[in-house]
Structures are given as structure tokens and as C-alpha cells.
Amino acid sequence: MTSTQTLLRTLNIMLSGYHARIEIVAPGVAHIHTSTGQLENIRETVLARLVGVENVMAYDDYTLGVFMPGAA
């Protein structure tokens, strides 16, 4: 499975074209903070490209939660 550090590194590389700040809040859970206009594009990018993601959900207009079980 993917480690927490690998998850962070992968998200940083994957989203390097966006103005996004990524924070690991728990094993297998990352928060992506960005502008409203980029939220849906980032969500689709993560779902399409990151293997093992269970869910990507919006908390508010600026924050996505990425849930990846097994990323300890």
C-alpha cells in the first residue's frame, strides 16, 4: 500500500499545475486547499489518476478531502 509520505509526494506532483496546498491530517486522509474555481478539476484529476482512492469529497468551497485506505 501507499505510505503517508508517498501519498503526500504523489498529490504534490499530480497537482503541481494547480495552486493547491496539501496537508495530511490522518493516515490515508489528505486535505487539499485551493480556490473555488479549481475544486472540481482537482477532484476529477485525483479520482482519475490516483489508484486506491476511496473517496474525494468537498468539505466547503475551498477544501477537498481525499480518503485513501491503507495509506498508513
Structural domain range at position 61: 4-67
Task: Give the CATH number, domain containing residue 33.
Answer: 3.30.1240.10
Residue 10 inside a domain? The answer is yes
pLDDT score recorded for residue 72? 61
What parts of the chain have a pLDDT lower than 50? 1
Query: What are the residues whose beta carbons fall under 8 Å from the beta carbon of 62, sequence distance 6 or more?
Result: 33, 34, 35, 36, 39
Q: Which residues contact 49 (CB under 8 A, 6 or more apart)?
A: 14
50 in any annotated domain: yes
> How many structural domains does the chain have?
1
Reported pTM: 0.87
Looking at residue 1, its pLDDT comes to 43
Q: Are strands 63-67 and 29-34 parallel, antiparallel or unpaired?
A: antiparallel
Asked if the structure places residue 37 within a domain, the reply is yes
Q: Look at residue 55 in the predicted model and tell me its pLDDT.
A: 92
- How many other β-carbons are positioned within 10 Å of the β-carbon of residue 8? 16
The per-residue pLDDT for 2 is 56
Instruction: Specify if 72 maps to a domain.
Output: no
